[in-house]
Amino acid sequence: MSGKKGETRVKIFRDWCKGCGICVAFCPSQVMKLDNQGKARVVQDDECINCGFCEIHCPDFAIMVHPREELTPFEAYIEEVRPATREDLQKTRNNSTG
Amino acid sequence: MAKVTQLIHNYLRHSKRFPHVFCPGCGHGIVLGSLIRSVHSLGLAKDDVVLVAGIGCSGRIPVYVDFNSVHTTHGRALTFATGIKMANPRLTVIVIMGDGDALSIGGNHLIHAARRNIGLAALVLNNHIYGMTGGQSSCTTPLGSYSTTTPFGQLEEEFDISRVAKVCGSSFVARTTVMQARHMDKMISTAITHPGFGMVEIISPCHTQFGRKNRFKTSVDMYRWLQKKSVSLDKFQELPPEKRKDAVVTGIFEQKDCIGLEEKHARMRRELRGET
């Protein structure tokens, strides 16, 4: 499973991270660190060896190990993203009940 | 390894207010991810999978994932699941229970589901404590450890869940920990495909209620302890007896060929109707 250094990068969704520190403690090459907000942050992007430990052991699904050349889904659709309007939020809220 | 998180996101119910309710460092989230990966690797459709859960922290797991889900009464998850499986054997039924749910309140049902050998996959998430109600000692609290109701140490011996299931006749019994997610994936997918009753005991540490009272400063300390203590079954047999005492043994304890109860029932039905 382990690949070469520098082929992948780690993406953290900070809204979903709860700062348990599992990824920071068990990362073999210290890619992540807890910052002053208590959440994980990528500090050494180049050191990732693609072992995949953080991705499958994150209890909150907040980490993604991604091939370096490809865009993450969020970056791929960034052109289509616009700020949410009041109507959008209303619609989302009505759909999400149940 | 990449793109696992994207895959998991396809199975989640995003309307259910993420991040989920589990405490920071709770192992239940890892189990949820592992369950999704196992179901995905088996290529099952979302509509063909039923998740049945009882009450407790583990009862929140089916809420977040987009399968058919039943959130049942305390300890009775296995009985509901038995009914679902007998009514529609085509469905893949996965039961998620906590240790209190499976052995204290629903201990009776676990024994009889194992005896019947009905084709369910039962995941028992063992966190050694009643986590949701405030950290009371449960029947799996280890001897001498502390909890809200045992402030000077537990006096009772703990239940060995895997041994109970094995003795009661379950045809697939395995134990794994949340620190070995790949091993857990393998165990869960084997339990799902196994024709009879497949029970997987998953050690999932509870830092908030159990760890803090037992001298674990952070949840990471608890995971480190779990990683240190867990040994595979082959290695355990080579260990000297003094080291065996507090080891967490992981691996498959029982795996035998059998016919599930629903299959036996279908055969009897065909026979009685004269359809060969």
Which CB contacts under 8 angstroms, 24+ apart, belong to B256-260? B256/B171, B256/B172, B257/B171, B258/B117, B258/B171, B258/B195, B258/B196, B259/B195, B259/B196, B260/B117, B260/B118, B260/B119, B260/B195, B260/B196, B260/B197
Residue with the larger pLDDT of the pair A81 and B78: B78
DSSP helix/strand/coil, B121? strand
> B3, B4, B5: which to substitute to probe chain A, counting the most A Cβ within 10 Å?
B5
From chain B, pick out residues whose CB is under 8 angstroms from the CB of A62.
19
Would you tell me how many other CB atoms lie within 10 Å of the CB of residue B212? 16
Residue A90 lies in a domain: no
From chain B, pick out residues whose CB is under 8 angstroms from the CB of A16.
18-19
Give B40-84 as a DSSP string.
Answer: HHHT--GGGEEEEE-SSGGGGGGGGBSSEEEE-STT-HHHHHHHH
CA closest to A19 among chain B residues: B24
Rounded to an integer, what is the distance from CA B251 to the centroid of its chain?
14
Nearest Cα of chain A lies from the Cα of B119 at a distance, in angstroms, of 28
Q: How far apart are CA B222 and CA B139, in angstroms?
A: 20
pLDDT at A5: 79
Q: Do B220 and A25 touch (CB under 8 A)?
A: yes
Confidence of residue A81 (pLDDT cuts 50, 70, 90): low
Amino acid at residue number B77: A
pLDDT at A3: 62
Q: Do B29 and A61 touch (CB under 8 A)?
A: yes
With a cut of 80, say whether residue A72 has pLDDT above it.
no
Residue A23 lies in a domain: yes
Residue A15 touches chain B, beta carbons under 8 Å? yes
Number of domains in chain B: 1
Average pLDDT, chain B: 91
Q: Do A61 and B15 touch (CB under 8 A)?
A: no
Residue A52 lies in a domain: yes
With a cut of 80, say whether residue A82 has pLDDT above it.
no
pLDDT at A51: 87
- Which structure tokens are listed for A35? 């910052």
Listed as ranges, residues in chain B with pLDDT below 50 are 1
DSSP state of B212: G
Residue B229 lies in a domain: yes
Let me know: does B193 contact B211? Beta carbons within 8 Å: no
CB burial of B121-131 (b: ≥16 within 10 Å; e: otherwise) equals bbbbbbbbbbb
Residue B4 lies in a domain: no
Closest by CA to B187, choosing from B12, B195, B177, is B177
Q: In chain B, which ranges are continuous DSSP H helix?
A: 4-11, 28-42, 77-87, 99, 107-116, 161-167, 181-193, 219-229, 233-238, 261-272
Q: How far apart are CA B104 and CA B123, in angstroms?
A: 15
CB burial of B13-38 (b: ≥16 within 10 Å; e: otherwise) equals eeeeebbbebbbbbbbbbbbbbbbbb
CA closest to B28 among chain A residues: A59
With a cut of 70, say whether residue A1 has pLDDT above it.
no
Number of domains in chain A: 1
pLDDT at B50: 94
How many inter-chain contacts (A to B, CB under 8 Å) are there? Answer: 91
Q: Look up the CATH number of the domain holding residue B138.
A: 3.40.50.970
Q: Is A64 left (phi over 0), alpha (psi -120 to 50) or beta?
A: beta
Q: How far apart are CA A32 and CA B225, in angstroms?
A: 21
Residue A20 lies in a domain: yes
Q: How far apart are CA B75 and CA B107, in angstroms?
A: 8
Would you tell me how many other CB atoms lie within 10 Å of the CB of residue B276? 5
Residue A25 touches chain B, beta carbons under 8 Å? yes
pLDDT at B1: 46
DSSP helix/strand/coil, B175? strand
CA closest to A66 among chain B residues: B2
Q: How far apart are CA B99 and CA B57, in angstroms?
A: 10
Q: Do A65 and B34 touch (CB under 8 A)?
A: no
> A11, A24, A60: which to substitute to probe chain B, counting the most B Cβ within 10 Å?
A60
Q: Look up the CATH number of the domain holding residue A29.
A: 3.30.70.20
Residue A95 lies in a domain: no
Q: Do B178 and A65 touch (CB under 8 A)?
A: no
Residue B1 lies in a domain: no
- Residue A38: give the domain boundaries: 8-70
pLDDT at B186: 93
CA closest to B26 among chain A residues: A59
Residue with tokens 């302890």: B225
With a cut of 60, say whether residue A98 has pLDDT above it.
no
Residue B60 touches chain A, beta carbons under 8 Å? no
Residue B178 lies in a domain: yes
- Residue B107: give the domain boundaries: 24-235+244-272
Q: Which of A12-16, A54-58, B92-96 has the highest mean pLDDT?
A: B92-96
Residue B197 lies in a domain: yes
Residue with the larger pLDDT of the pair B181 and A73: B181
pLDDT at B194: 93
Residue A15 lies in a domain: yes
Residue A66 lies in a domain: yes
What is the ipTM, given to two decimal places?
A: 0.85
Residue B178 touches chain A, beta carbons under 8 Å? yes
